[in-house]
Chain A
Amino acid sequence: MAAIQTTPETHDVVVIGSGAGGGTVAHVLTALGVRVTLLEAGPMLDPYREFKEHLWPYEVDHRGAEEGGKQYFGRGKHGGYFSTTSGGWELDGEPYTVGDGSQFRWFRSRIVGGRTNHYGRMSFRFSDYDFHPYDRDGLGTNWPISYDDIAPYYDKAETLIGVTGSREGIRSAPDGVFQDPPPPKAHELLVKAASERLGIACIPNRRAVLTRSVNGRPACHYCGQCNRGCVTASNYSSSQVQIFPALETGRLRIIDLAMAREIVTDGRGTVTEIIYIDKRTRQEARLRCRVLVLAASACESARILLNSKTSEFPNGVANSSGVVGRFLMDTVGFGLSARVPSLEGLPRYNSDGAGGAHLYMPWWGWERQQALGFPRGYHIEIGGGYRMPGIGSFGRVARESGYGVGLKAQARRDYGTSISMQGRGEMIPNNFSYCEIDPTTVDQWGIPVLRFHFKWSDYEIDQARHMEETFRAIFDTMGGLVRGRSARDASGISVPGSIIHEVGAVRMGTDPRTSALNGFCQTHDVDNLFVCDGGSFVSNPDKNPTLTINALAWRASEYMAEEMRAGNL
């Protein structure tokens, strides 16, 4: 490696990562007049080149099977060729390892905006009770903040990014600042009727998709392809909604293709520099900074901390507690699909809608948790409708019907009659689920990689079983013919990491001996160091994490700006 380059300038705030956390920090700080330098491990985003929105499968010669039919061999892109995902479960030259006896999948996106360019846009507030889980059932740990602390920041985040929804007054799913939701799709009316017959409320979904224009972003045009990225920015992505506007302030500088390696301190517990690799030149570079914010994703931020061993922090910067990397969580996932014969003959119509489902079922059992036999809850997401056909859409029909005119007839009959339900539930953090530095492996940049360990406990297995019973009951009510589980494990529970809600690993708390961060995402050990991604999560409620990452990062940014103004940082 060539001579180390040092930039003499001191940057006010350096942010590592440009997803939901980094995007929010960049947006809020630049709006408050603070200069921000943002490092992103991937390239700058050009939505028009990157997003495959509106492309028909026949407009590419491989129809979406990818070159050489990669999708057929399980080597294609996550979510299919048309999904916008610069990144995936494996990145060339940037491996991770998994400990013996564990399973873990880690989805990384290397591009400005990160995973927010294509994520599901589910935007659920945590409930008041989600912040003190230990007080409820003696499991896990309480957060150092309450719902009242974060509620104003949920308001701000929802107002900026735009979230659809309806006011319902359900304790497990607090109401927010909502745009009008789109009407239910036809098949969802059937699900709602079956669900409500079983006493499970089914309400308008809460997704970060605009139904009316905000800040020059036009309302959704209902192509249903949010997962491909949206050229009109009618849904939330940190790139289009926060980072591009922040660039317009003149106070944001982006250094792309910059792979952060380690933090440098002054020997007295203050961060002075971040060392990164410029991927274009493979050269090492340093940035001096007044404040450093890690927002590289929960595990990537933990990795940077653990790889930063200094004289005062031999176990990694800000890790005097030893909790960095620990209490890693994913969401409990379980899916079931069914063919619903009563939908045969439903008139064809455009069911694309706002992408994803227009209805969902929030957790309904918080008052009778004791009787259920497992702690914590889950919500249910619905799939179905007349979807754009793609690779594999009629694989089952082909196997069932053999070949010939009968195959075509069955495809016409079955099209649009499938409904799926996906449970998304809360796991209890445990001592067997963590990441650490692999002592033997480095990536192509010479940076030691993470090794994952993960274990579901009976709490999660029992919850997945309850999901299965519930989904079967709903399908039975609507006369659905259940096909099978979505996962391969005997219990049907998702592979750890595969729901892509990995959080924790740099958790916050009141006690510096058992947590790495305070309630403002500031490390207990180092005043000028913050972690503003999902790493701070103390628990992982059945609320998809992005909106809470936005809100926590917003709150941390205002605190940071005030501390800088007051001369404390």
Chain B
Amino acid sequence: MDQGSQITRRQVLKQLAMAVTAGGAGVFNLDAARVVHALVGEERTQTGGYALQLLTEQEFATVSRLAELIVPADAGGGSGVDAGAPEFIDLLCSQNDELADIYQGGLAWLDATMRQRVGTRFVDAVPDNQTAFLDALVEAERSDVESDLGPGVQFFGWIRRMTVDAYYTSPIGIADLQYQGNTSMTRYTVPQEAIDFVNRQIEKM
């Protein structure tokens, strides 16, 4: 499914309202129409500039670079930045002091540690140094031995999970997975090719 075919709740409900009207089931028509009207007003336009809620420009730039490294653009879809991960993180941080501390503290630790290692803040380091550092964090995460990278492992865990969530809950991430549901069908069927595939697996079982 390509990005252009993503449909909104409003469209689905509109289809439903039309289906119900066509089927003559009656009572839902007015109510369904009401929903459609209410939702039109609710729909947000996602275009235009984003005004930072909590993070500084500098912090936001670092979050954006990390989001790009965690979920890079590839043939299957765009990046964490394309999916709005930095905005998602900034918004939630602005609503929750505990989360704000995790991010602002984590970003400060990251820059301080990068300065010790390569003499620059994270965002100013060359890409090889950035990925080398993330590799070190992943290695420390997988190790049973405690290291002084502990705070970074914690912070990286947060930004990774939230970047991944932002990506896979975005239209591009959903298209990447080729999720085909959240729609309405008059009859539920499973494609024969899917059934054949499973039957082949059962034969091998």
Interface residues, chain A, with chain B CB atoms under 8 Å away: 48-49, 53-59, 61-65, 67-69, 72-73, 182-187, 189-190, 193-194, 197, 213, 216-225, 231-232, 342-343, 345-354, 386-395, 397-399, 402-405, 407-408, 411-412, 415, 477-479
Contact = CB atoms under 8 A, between A and B. Distances in A.
30 contacts: A56-B9, A57-B169, A58-B84, A63-B88, A63-B166, A67-B92, A72-B162, A73-B98, A186-B194, A189-B198, A190-B202, A218-B28, A223-B183, A342-B204, A343-B198, A347-B197, A386-B178, A386-B180, A388-B174, A388-B179, A388-B182, A389-B179, A393-B168, A394-B168, A395-B161, A395-B165, A398-B164, A402-B135, A411-B164, A478-B205
Contacts of A232: 16, 20, 28
Given A218-B20, A351-B190, 6 more contacts: A54-B9, A54-B13, A56-B182, A63-B169, A342-B201, A350-B185
B55 to A, nearest CB: 14
A186 B32 contact: no
Contact of B99 (A72, A349, A395): A72
Contacts of A388: 174, 179, 181-182
Nearest to B34: A48
Contacts, number: 225
Given A48-B35, A408-B74, A346 B169 contact: no
Interface residues of B, number: 78
A222 B189 CA distance: 10
Lowest 7 A-B CB distances belong to which pairs? A68-B96, A57-B169, A68-B95, A221-B184, A352-B181, A54-B9, A389-B168
B57 interface: no
B146 to A, nearest CB: 18
Given A48-B35, A390-B169, A398-B160, A59 B70 contact: no
B165 A408 contact: no
Contacts of A184: 190
B104 interface: no
B195 interface: yes
Nearest to B197: A346
B72 interface: yes
Nearest to A63: B169
A402 B138 contact: yes
Contact of B169 (A182, A213, A391): A391
B69 interface: yes
Interface of B is mostly: helix
B144 interface: no
Contact of A223 (B182, B193, B199): B182
Given A186-B197, A407-B164, A352 B16 contact: no
Contacts of A54: 9, 12-13, 182
Nearest to A401: B138
Contact of A353 (B141, B176, B188): B188
Interface in B143-187: 157, 160-162, 164-166, 168-171, 173-174, 176-186
B8 interface: yes
Interface in B68-96: 69-72, 74, 76-77, 84, 88, 91-92, 95-96
B26 A216 contact: yes
Contacts of A53: 9
A54 to B, nearest CB: 4
B128 interface: no
B194 A347 contact: yes
Contact of A343 (B71, B95, B201): B201
A57 B6 CA distance: 12
B134 interface: yes
A290 B35 CA distance: 40
B23 interface: yes
B201 A190 contact: yes
Interface in B82-141: 84, 88, 91-92, 95-96, 98-99, 131, 134-135, 138, 141
B166 A348 contact: no
Interface string B1-43: 0000010110011001001100101111001101100100001
Nearest to A73: B98
B49 interface: no
Contacts of B48: none
A61 B91 contact: yes
B1 to A, nearest CB: 9
Identify the interface centre among B91, B135, B190: most chain A CB within 10 Å of its CB: B190
A231 B12 contact: no
Nearest to B100: A68
Contact of A408 (B76, B92, B185, B202): B76
Given A394-B168, A398-B164, A408 B16 contact: no
A432 B31 CA distance: 49
Identify the interface centre among B26, B157, B180, B204: most chain A CB within 10 Å of its CB: B180
Given A218-B25, A391-B165, A405-B74, A386 B179 contact: yes
Given A56-B6, A345-B197, A347-B193, A403 B185 contact: no
Contacts of B177: 386, 389, 411-412, 415
Contact of A348 (B9, B168, B178): B178
Contacts of B141: 399
Given A216-B25, A349-B180, A412 B169 contact: no
Given A62-B91, A67-B95, A223 B184 contact: yes
